[in-house]
Amino acid sequence: MNFLMTAAPLAMRLCGLSQEAANLGLQWHVIAMYAPSFFTGRLITRFGAPRVVAAGLALIGAAVVAGLLGQDVGHFWGSLILLGVGWNFGFVGASALVLDCHRPEERTRVQSLNDFIVFGTMAAGSFASGGLLTAHGWNTVLWVSLAPLALAVAALAISRRAHPAAVS
């Protein structure tokens, strides 16, 4: 998510869109990241964390498709909003899964390690996306973002096969 979020406003400017359009797109993206938190927990309770994570990954994939369909303001904004909601579902759902897979005495350490890995990867992704954007363009950033998305989908599929009871 961070890979695309960081590059999108820069790509908007490189495509000749206004700074105001880039700012507004990022503002709506941030709202899309956090506003669903009011009901994401209920979705996890009702459908299960794996399904919510899968929905989040699907929304992130839809964000990539929206970005690949064009480079006008609507495509960027749509992509950023889909990306934000997808991140919320994926992050909150995956956090619930991480905690469900461990004993109560392990949860603090596991959550700390998970957050370190997630946010360390996000920092690296931020730097990489800017360089990739300036060297190869927005479409390349979008295509490259499919690699970690595919890894996440594969990890979710493997975990669902290994722990079918977690699907509930």
What pLDDT, on a 0 to 100 scale, did the predictor assign at position 143?
Answer: 97
* Cα end-to-end distance, the chain, whole Å: 26
> Range of 145's domain?
2-167
Q: pLDDT, tens digit, for every residue of 36-72?
A: 999 999 999 999 999 999 999 999 999 999 999 999 9
In terms of phi and psi (left: phi > 0; alpha: psi -120 to 50; beta: otherwise), the region of 106 is alpha
Listing DSSP states for 93-125 in one string gives HHHHHHHHTS-TTTHHHHHHHHHHHHHHHHHHH
* Residue-wise DSSP of 51-88: HHHHHHHHHHHHHHHHHHT--SHHHHHHHHHHHHHHHH
Check residue 166 and give its pLDDT.
Answer: 53
CATH classification of the domain holding 36: 1.20.1250.20
81-119 pLDDT, tens digit each: 999 999 999 999 988 888 777 788 887 888 888 889 888
Report the predicted TM-score, pTM, of the whole model to 2 decimal places: 0.89
Report the domain count for the chain.
1
Mean pLDDT of the chain: 91
